[in-house]
Amino acid sequence: MSSQRVQLDIQDHHVVMDNGILQVTLSKPDGIVTRIQYNGIDNLLEVLSEEVERGYWDLVWSEAGSVGTTGTFDVIKGTKFEVIVESDEQVEVSFTRKWNPSQKGKLVPLNIDKRFIMLRNSSGFYSYAIYDHLKEWPPFNLPQTRIVFKLRKEKFQYMAIADNRQRYMPLPDDRLQERSKVLDVPEAVLLVNPIEPEFKGEVDDKYEYSSENQNLRVHGWICMDPPVGFWQITPSDEFRSGGPLKQNLTSHVGPFCLAMFLSAHYSGEDLVLKLKPDEPWKKVFGPVFIYLNSLTSNANEDPSPLWEDAKHQMMTEVQKWPYDFPASSEFPPSDQRGNVSGRIQVRDRYVSEDCIPGKGAYVGLAPPGDAGSFQRDCKGYQFWTRADEHGYYSIKNIREGQYNLYAWVPGFIGDYRYDAAINITAGCVIDVGELVYEPPRDGPTLWEIGIPDRSAAEFYVPDPNPNYINKLYVNHPDRFRQYGLWERYADLYPDQDLIYTIGTSDYAKDWFFAQVTRKKDDDTYEGTTWQIKFQLDNVNQSGTFKLQISLATANIAELQIRINDPKADPPLFTTGVIGKDNTILRHGIHGLYWLYSIDIPATLLVEGNNTLFLTQPISNSPLAAFHGLMYDYIRLEGPPSSTSTRGVKPANMAPNTPLD
């Protein structure tokens, strides 16, 4: 480590931050990272690319009223440079772009202030940005914003995003037309003639390397000679959209290293930020840390020491959050934040007479809304934690503001929302006390399929077509990330659809992970109808049964429910057309969560053999292969044995009392 003070060299068109460990060059006044010097390497960034394509903040925006998740791509270039802090211990510089009405329709109506920070004795640098939209400005849509780094392809060829998700990667040249074959979408290519023969026959697709926010703390690239790591560390999820299970891109062939803040991936237009007329909005994205590490020697070309060190540094950054060094008043330090704690339990009298501790519950504060609304929120801040085995939780360092408390408990369906608003002020310590969640339940369980955990991972995921392999995911827990698994359904069920028999079938072997369309011999697609066969010993014709169905994702799909008559018109129930998650195409195992509680009149059921028909009929678009849904959990409940209430029940507090 160097003890050199941090120096700032302001040139005509560039600014250089230097702490003796690394030197970072930014264009002036654009604020593009053009050069990172470290450990004898003159520039870690791709010198073959134009300066503006090396290290940059970008966004995608569209006019208000636009539909979809696309828009105008904008690499954010500042128009004014300013030194915010310059001392021996720290340099912070600002690159701002102001909006004015003359730019209407040409630039997104935002004031943007990009900040870069270098600290003494720190092997890296930080970046954050403040986005500010004034009330009187035109509304707009913002589908995406992020930071992108493009590294030198001849040096950084080993990528790591998790302990069990790291590998040598193809070169960007391997994706060129003469070396690859584009598959169903441009992001996915089959490597036909790669420079390195070891990659021949593999599929490369950036979405195979997506990760949930809760697991997306550190990822990056390793150069073997000299042994150097380039890591993007995100110490907090507070500025990310969609909650802890929201999935984002990480790193991919380029070599690219991303810090995703807002995206519609695995959720669709529901996660496009849409400002209304006269709606002000301001948000701080970051800071994130770009961490560099190295080894004195690495004769065995073993990447693990650099990866382990990066994970250790990530934990250090998490423990330092919220940082006390950003100079902007828009980023509050710890003493300007609040804390919430409590306990959550579950009451399901058909499982236990006593309250069940909310073991492993996800508990979070997010902007006010309905139960579950956090997964579609993209304007505000969110703060999440996991409860311990007894259901106790503590959420620290919450920004000031008004929130709802949300939760869900693995093993139980549905969403919890605490009725009272929670008002966070600087230094507050709020004990919510004991809360009891009563998940949707009408009667005793007659049968169930799956695990209520908002994922389809427990179901049958087939082996991929051997012509479309990613070697990383062979014999891997995330086998669902292989390309083209949707086509395997027609291989397994060429003529008839899936039939599942309660009592003899095994959902891990007999329930395909996604209800997709079937490809026919003429290359068109048809909808599918799955069957669940079950027996009932006795049916009280005056009773009502309840079908609980939770979906892990949906993409331009409709789920129709019929009982014992596959041609009943209308069906007993339909979701209507739902979802634009695109999870199937993007190799995910979940997207947005959906829950349906469906009454089944006993008159539709018979003693003995019954059949539940699940139909997904939509199959007539150019992307028909990707219409479909994934189930999270299905349960049939008998008629209630006694009266039962459902909902959220806070203990020791009036239901509509604001918390201060």
**pLDDT (tens digit per residue) in 379-404:** 999 999 999 999 999 999 999 999 99
- Rg from Cα positions in the chain: 26
* CATH code of domain 334-437: 2.60.40.1120
* CATH code of domain 7-168+206-320: 2.70.98.10
**pLDDT (tens digit per residue) in 327-362:** 999 999 999 999 999 999 999 999 999 999 999 999
d(CA 276, CA 278) in angstroms, rounded, equals 6
* CATH code of domain 445-637: 2.60.120.260
| Confidence check: pLDDT of 645 > 70 | no
Amino acid at 245: L
**pLDDT (tens digit per residue) in 217-271:** 999 999 999 999 999 999 999 999 999 999 999 999 999 999 999 999 999 999 9
pLDDT of 2 reads 65
d(CA 218, CA 160) in angstroms, rounded, equals 9
Q: Are strands 90-97 and 111-119 parallel, antiparallel or unpaired?
A: antiparallel
Cβ contact 513:456 at 8 Å = yes
Residue 391 backbone zone (phi > 0: left; psi -120 to 50: alpha; other: beta): left
d(CA 599, CA 479) in angstroms, rounded, equals 36
| Confidence check: pLDDT of 187 > 60 | yes
Amino acid at 638: G
The domains of the chain are located at: 7-168+206-320, 334-437, 445-637
Query: What are the residues facing 546 on neighbouring strands?
Result: 599, 637
Cβ-defined contacts of 355-358 (< 8 Å, 24+): 355/436, 357/389, 357/390, 357/391, 358/387, 358/391, 358/407, 358/409, 358/437
Residue 617 neighbours by CB under 8 Å, 6+ apart: 527, 558, 560
Q: Are strands 256-262 and 140-150 parallel, antiparallel or unpaired?
A: antiparallel
Q: Is 185 exposed, middle or buried (0-12, 13-18, 19+ CB in 10 A)?
A: middle
d(CA 150, CA 45) in angstroms, rounded, equals 6
Is there a common fold for 7-168+206-320 and 334-437?
A: no
pLDDT of 657 reads 36
| Confidence check: pLDDT of 656 > 60 | no
